[in-house]
Amino acid sequence: MCLFNVKDGFLEAVVRGYKLGLLTTADYNNLCQCETLEDIKLYLTGTDYGPFLANEPSPMHTTTLVDCCTRKLVADWRYLRENAGEPLGRFLDYCTYGHMIDNVVLIVTGTLHERDVQELLEKCNPLGMFDAIASLAVAQNMRDLYRLVLVDTPLAPYFSDNLTSEDLDEMNIEVMRNTLYKAYLDDFAAFVHRVGGTTAGVMSELLSFEADRRALNITLNSIGTELTRDDRRKLYANFGLLYPHGQAELAVAEDFDQIRTAMEKCQPYQSIFSRLGLGETQMLDKILYEEEVRQLINTYEQQFHYGVFYAYMRLREQEIRNIMWIAECVAQDQKNRVQDGIVFTF
């Protein structure tokens, strides 16, 4: 606490400043009243997104809107990353590894299907960019890819520890992505423990939730697919509130009700599921998002820890999702559904 501000006090204050720029409930209510995308743009110009939206030519599309908002997040993030010392810098990097995994997987599959690298690079999430990413396309098969490129990226241990070279060639890309993500979450959790202090306390709570949510999603999405129970079990992270008993139950769950029983044994998730009507899976995502946002906002209740940076990234992403949702609803004339997708932050 006494030494935190030596390196990170400034950035913490900055990120808290950024957090003040997040849209409030009042902002969302106003956005919901918008009749066209132009109105939305006009309104957003008055917020922190202003400089990023100002020069956009007039016929707006949802995608350009979302792109502009993402640019704002990326600019903020770059600023933070450039000003960060250690171990905050590592922490910030860790936050973006998730996107990096997505980017690598995207480029790799794209290259294997012989798509244009430039086009793929444009599609990459800018938060998950790293220097060597363009050279990913050099590799023609997975083994080369690992040998030539991935070794130099921070993701290398995830590849080498969790995937054999046979896996690289044969594994379903989605399974691979989730295996990597699991390794990443485990590593991230270990890292925040090494950092220790308030950071460890705050972050392990957030990461536990993230791990549990992934476990839940994987289970939910793999029902009825060829993913076996053992494979499924391997994709769960090695921590979280569900670890290990809840995960064992999730691994054998075959329908939503079984998942529900498994999840409800865990106190915090009981309340989440109690908000869900029986057999209602549609709203689950939103409720989970809301729970996540609640937890993320709670991180701002404490000072002198790194969780605020992670929380800022996540909140901003959620906000971009919200904006996208509102924009889609407005563009597709489905205004009665607007409320279904917005997760209010403040």
Partner 1 sequence: MSTQNRYTVTPTVSVLAVMKARLAGATKGHSLLKKKADALNMRFRQILKKIVETKEEMGKVMKASFFSLAQARYATGDFKHTVFDSVDQATFKVKASQDNVAGVRLPKFEGVKEGADSKLGLIGLGTGGKQIQECRKSFMTAVDLLVELASLQTAFLTLDEAIKTTNRRVNALEHVVKPRLENTIAYIKGELDELEREEFFRLKKVQGNKKKHAEAAEALEAARAGHKGGAAAAPAARENEAANVLATELQDADIIF
Partner 2 sequence: MRALVLGVAATLGLPSLLLLLYLLNVDLQYLFFLFRNISPYFWSALGISLCVGLSIVGAAWGIFITGSSLVGAAIREPRITSKNLISIIFCEAVAIYGVIVAIILQTKVEAVKPQADGTYGLAAANAGYAILGAGSVTGWANLACGLSVGIVGSSAALSDAANSTLFVKILVVEIFASALGLFGVIIGIIMAGNANFMAQG
Residues that bind partner 1 (CB under 8 A): 62, 105-106, 109-110, 112-113, 115, 120, 123, 125, 172-175, 177-178, 181, 214, 217-218, 220-222, 224-227, 235, 281, 285, 321, 324-325, 328-329, 332-334, 337, 341
> Residue 149 in contact with residue 132, Cβ under 8 Å?
yes
Under 8 Å between Cβ of 342 and 322: yes
Place of tokens 């060639």: 169
**Least distance CB 195 / partner 1 (angstroms):** 25
Asked if 16 is part of the footprint of partner 2 (rule: CB under 8 A), the reply reads yes
**Contact between 11 and partner 2 (CB under 8 A)?**
yes
Question: To the nearest whole angstrom, how small is the minimum distance from the Cβ of residue 205 to partner 1?
Answer: 20
Nearer Cβ to partner 1, position 96 or 178?
178
CA–CA–CA angle 93, 290, 223 (5° rounding): 85
Of the candidates 117, 104, 84, 121, the one whose C-alpha atom is nearest the C-alpha of residue 8 is 84
The site string for partner 2 over 20-49 (x = CB under 8 A, - otherwise) reads: xx----------------------------
For partner 1, which is the closer residue by CB, 52 or 181? 181
Token pair of 151, please? 């070794």
| Cβ nearer to partner 1, comparing 88 with 327 | 327
CA–CA distance, 76 with 170 (Å, rounded to integer): 39
Alpha helix segments (H runs only) across 275-306: 284-299
- Could you tell which of partner 2, partner 1, none binds residue 1, using a CB distance below 5 to 8 A set by kind? partner 2
Site for partner 2 in 277-306 (CB under 8 A): 303-304
Residue 12 interacting with partner 2 (CB under 8 A):
yes
The Cα–Cα gap between 21 and 45 comes to 12
**3-state helix, strand and coil shares in percent for the chain, rounded to the nearest 5:** 75, 0, 25
Q: Identify what 10 binds: partner 2, partner 1, none; CB under 5 to 8 Å per kind.
A: partner 2
Q: Count CB neighbours of 333 within 10 A.
A: 8
- 14 scored as a contact of partner 2 (CB under 8 A): yes
Write the CA distances from 315 to 180, 210, 251, 273, 329, integer angstroms.
23, 14, 30, 22, 21
Q: 112 contacts which partner out of partner 2, partner 1, none, CB within 5 to 8 A by kind?
A: partner 1
89 binds partner 2, rule: CB under 8 A: no
Name the site residues for partner 2 (rule: CB under 8 A).
1-2, 5-6, 9-14, 16-21, 303-304
